[in-house]
Amino acid sequence: MRGSRSDRRAARVNCRWSHRHSHHGAHSGGHPEHCHQRWRLLLGTIAGMVGLSQATPVQAALQVTTPQQPAWMQPALSIIKEFEGLELAAYIDAVGIATIGWGTTMYPDGTPVKMGETVTSAKAESLLVNALLRDYAPGMFRALPMAKEFTSQQQAALISFTYNVGVQALEDSTLRKRLIAGEPASTVISQELPRWRYGDQGTTLAGLVRRRQAEIALFMKHSTT
């Protein structure tokens, strides 16, 4: 269930000044409903003329913002993309599953990817980011509560691993049992991740070997566990 729905929303801009002074609309040459656009254009012009390096309080109030990504997101995306690769047309992966984009095997509504389907690069990015936010990161943190205290790189490594093997596999793993039992995380990760290197025929896959090595290296980066 790698697919997920994109649901990013921008914050609305507050324009109380305009509504408070709406009776000046006729003199200002337009209705106060257009204040957002006028003020952005005016402030942008002023900033360009005086060389402002930072937004003024008024500019900051008028800027549209987006939700901040968790610290693990960028390192997780980097390692996942390195090993999944981007395919805009559906293909059969190493274990025989129809896959598209950055490793998506199922869409948000639960429909599996089918051969012959295509996506745009933007859609592929959306499917990956939101799958991590909705399914794989929550699933990893639920299975491994102690990971909330890990570094963002360690969390990213485990999210990459979970995205590859699935939440259920993580929940059933010896890796999880050992971490919950209190064994040192660095020892468990270095010993358990390399075991997950086999394809559907029980043969070792070089790509999985490299991925596990990369995930271990990322986990050990600045490790304190």
Active-site positions? 84
Q: How far apart are CA 186 and CA 213, in angstroms?
A: 13
Residue 121 CB contacts under 8 Å (≥ 6 apart), including other chains: 86, 88
State both tokens at 92. 């059969």
State both tokens at 4. 């997920």
Residue 95 CB contacts under 8 Å (≥ 6 apart), including other chains: 199, 200
The CB-side HSE value for 191 (13 A sphere, CA atoms) comes to 12
E strands along the chain, which residues? 87-92, 98-101
Looking at residue 33, the DSSP 8-state letter turns out to be G
Residue written as tokens 């059969």? 92
Q: How far apart are CA 98 and CA 194, in angstroms?
A: 25
